[in-house]
Chains A and B, each alone.
Chain A
Amino acid sequence: MITAVRKPLEEIMGFAAPYSRVLLLGCNECVTVCYAGGRKEVGILASALSMAFLKEGKKLDIVEQTLERQCDPEYVEEIAQTIDQYDAVFSMACGCGVQTVAGRYKDKPVFPMVNTMFMGASERQGVWAERCAGCGECVLGRTGGICPVARCSKRIFNGPCGGSTKGKCEIDPGVDCAWQLIWDRLKALGRTDLYSEIMPAKDWRSAKDGGPRRIVREDLLS
């Protein structure tokens, strides 16, 4: 999922300062699962913001709504009838959702309420860790299911580097060395032969280095 964390309230209050009525818009997808911007988080932030303003003797009218997905135009269309009632939209979705809303309602200020972090998986309740960097050319089949792009600090393809000590990365003793994990897993699978193959230099154009990316599926176009 795409993970996110709520922005500091001070920053959010700065966004809200010029307005008197805002739509606080949650998203039912990734940010709900990582407890950053779902219906419940919308309620908590609305309460906190409302109290923070009232304490200063100011009133901020906050209307709470949560869409099924903010990154799909058909769901964003649901607020078309009511959007004129608000001075601004405070989106609790990831950056994709914020931009979809801003793109649809061009004359309405849209502000992000969360900092979008990474594509991650849940390690346990309350902990998420980066697992995919969206590089556009998956190598997990050759690395025992452990990603050297997302989980190696240097993103190297023929590791480990000299900074690997006792299975940990030199950047932080709390960070596993991805290449140690890859080696251990390949060994367990009896596929250390994959490790012996030198991987060629990666073509990063399939990742972000080739500019903004799009997927066009001819079979689905309408």
Chain B
Amino acid sequence: MSDFEPIIVAFACEYCAYTAADMAGSLGMSYPPNVKIIRVPCTGKVDTLHLMRALQKGADGVLVAGCYLGDCHYKNGNLRAQQRVGYVSRLLEEIGVGGERVMMTFMSAGQGNVFAQVANEFTEKIRNLGPNPVKLGAGKAAA
């Protein structure tokens, strides 16, 4: 398991987390290459279905990074995203995949350090959890 490198999909709001990720790079802060960033106009655009499909198609963890509550460019998109992440987390628990594989986080555009820290911590957490059990099962199903 030690050579397991998780695939993390991060939905990042362009008004905060996406810019923060960019800033992390500008400041020379490293975060794991495991984190594949998808830029979204607002985390409110991230649907339950996007989170589920990411995990179904092989992600080991999904991160949704939006603005601090109260700072959303579209008023409450981040709040909606937080509710959806909670719903998906419960759904993943129900099917035995593990609700902790999906996480919501908040930051501002200037917090490159926060993005790097969250990316590192979440990647480490998923590495410790091990691969998405769906992928392991898929191998058995194909055999």
Contacts and interface: CB of A to CB of B under 8 A. Distances in A.
A48 B95 contact: yes
A10 B96 CA distance: 11
A171 interface: no
A51 B94 contact: no
The number of chain A residues touching the other chain, given as a range, is 10 to 19
B52 A55 contact: no
B140 to A, nearest CB: 3
A43 interface: yes
Contacts of A47: 49, 52-53, 55-56
Contacts, number: 57
Given A9-B95, A43-B49, A56 B137 contact: yes
7 contacts: A40-B47, A40-B49, A44-B91, A47-B53, A53-B137, A53-B141, A54-B134
B134 A55 contact: yes
A57 B52 CA distance: 19
B49 A55 contact: no
Contact of B134 (A8, A9, A43, A51): A51
SS of B interface (majority): helix
Contacts of A44: 48-49, 52, 91
B82 to A, nearest CB: 14
A50 interface: yes
B91 A55 contact: no
Given A48-B94, A54-B138, A59-B142, 20 more contacts: A8-B94, A40-B47, A40-B48, A43-B52, A44-B49, A47-B52, A47-B55, A49-B95, A50-B56, A51-B52, A51-B95, A51-B97, A52-B95, A54-B137, A54-B141, A55-B133, A55-B136, A55-B137, A57-B137, A57-B141
Interface residues of B, number: 20
A202 interface: no
A55 B96 contact: yes
Contacts of B95: 9, 48-49, 51-52, 55
Contact of A57 (B47, B96, B140): B140
A137 B97 CA distance: 50
Interface of A: 8-10, 40, 43-44, 47-59
Contact of B94 (A9, A53, A57): A9
B90 to A, nearest CB: 11
A10 to B, nearest CB: 8
Contacts of B138: 54, 59
Contacts of B141: 53-54, 57-59
Interface string B99-116: 000000000000000000
